[in-house]
Amino acid sequence: MRVMVTGGAGYVGSVSVERLVAAGHDVLVLDDLSTGHGGSVPAGVRLVRASFGDPDDVARAMAEHGTEAVLHCAAKSLVGESVTNPAKYYRANVVGGVMLLEAMRRRGVRRLVFSSTAAVYGTPEMTPITEDAPLRPINPYGETKRAFEAALAWYGAAYGLRSVCLRYFNVAGASEMHGEVHAPETHLIPNVLLAAAGGPALNLFGDDYPTPDGTCIRDYIHVEDLADAHLLALEATALDDARTDSQLICNLGNGGGFSVREVLEAAERVVGREIPHSIGPRRVGDPPVLVASAGRAGTVLGWQPTRPGIEEMIGSAWAWRGRHPAGYGE
């Protein structure tokens, strides 16, 4: 299949590109490199440096490539920034997303897999969270993802778009070739590993939550398991596949969780020494527990995570760091 991956030079996108290429697909990466890394695009995969929000550029790239399906990983994705600068998030994630859909309509491309997020749920009433839980995002990041999911449903009903929304929980780990490099880095595991490698000590955001050890619990999922789910979801968008006659939404998590302290302790076992850290105040907008019910991805997509261990996730990220001390060297 000829698949365009928006954000294919980013963390999740690059591992998905690797997986798609390994499965024999013809992949085109569309990325403006605002946060992605040109060096992450494998040799032999074409990179078009353009924004997914520019329908002329996107339609041209699609025509040259013969795109049949889109994996839409590109987005603005910093929760804190979304609160202080919502305009940036609405422009990119909603307006840009709709422009991508317009380019697809122009080209007659009707298959799309969307990188969505657990942030669409906000602070859940029940855990583990099922896909039918109410959507009450508590920040513009989650809100813009929710809005685009809804657009996909309406485009499906009116124009025959077939979409799968994958609501990621906490993505972690690395493949052989690709790992996580963000500037600034806000996520827990990269910050733990930065501290382990001699960077700033980890600031642990709050230990007075209503959880067994007082720190927040998250459902971490290995980025390679996520990439497997993308492949299965793309297959489910085939025009004769009843699973996407209407929009399909699946959570992606392991259905279990680890606290911030457990992640820190697992990382200490991986690196074989204590990791400098301090306890700071809570970070605004952090729900105490976010754990997925990922049964639907299993029953409908046939997806099973195969790397649920937190040490394996952290170990793969640590090994990748060791092999790429300068990230992608940009």
**Concatenated DSSP letters of 186-232:** --HHHHHHHHHTTSSPEEEE-S-SSSTTSS-EE-EEEHHHHHHHHHH
If you compute the radius of gyration of the chain from its CA atoms, what whole number of angstroms results?
19
Residue (45 or 202) nearer to ligand UDP, CB: 202
As measured in angstroms, the least distance from the Cβ of 323 to ligand UDP is 22
Residue (12 or 30) nearer to ligand UDP, CB: 12
Half-sphere exposure of 165 (CA within 13 A, CB side): 21
Find the Cα–Cα–Cα–Cα dihedral 319, 321, 325, 326, rounded to 10°: 140
Q: Which residues contact 216 (CB under 8 A, 6 or more apart)?
A: 205, 206, 209, 259, 260, 286, 287, 288, 289, 290
210 touches 204 (CB < 8 A): no
Q: Which residues contact 42 (CB under 8 A, 6 or more apart)?
A: 17, 18, 21, 177
Residue (26 or 207) nearer to ligand UDP, CB: 207
Active site residue 155: no
Provide the 8-state DSSP code for 129: B
As measured in angstroms, the least distance from the Cβ of 114 to ligand UDP is 17
**Concatenated DSSP letters of 140-176:** HHHHHHHHHHHHHHHHHHHH--EEEEEEE-EEE---S
Interface positions with ligand UDP (CB under 6 A): 170, 186-188, 191, 202-205, 216, 218, 260, 283, 286
State the burial class of residue 246 (Cβ atoms within 10 Å of its Cβ: 0-12, 13-18, 19+).
exposed
As measured in angstroms, the least distance from the Cβ of 162 to ligand UDP is 28
Half-sphere exposure of 163 (CA within 13 A, CB side): 27
As measured in angstroms, the least distance from the Cβ of 141 to ligand UDP is 9
Tell whether omega for the bond before 190 is within 30 degrees of 0, i.e. cis: no
Catalytic residue among 11, 89, 121, 141: 141
Q: How far apart are CA 202 and CA 164, in angstroms?
A: 36
Residue (134 or 280) nearer to ligand UDP, CB: 280
**Amino acid, res. 286:** D
As measured in angstroms, the least distance from the Cβ of 155 to ligand UDP is 27
As measured in angstroms, the least distance from the Cβ of 113 to ligand UDP is 20
Residue (104 or 290) nearer to ligand UDP, CB: 290
Give residue number: closest CB to ligand UDP.
216
Residue (206 or 327) nearer to ligand UDP, CB: 206
- Any idea which residues carry the catalytic annotation? 141
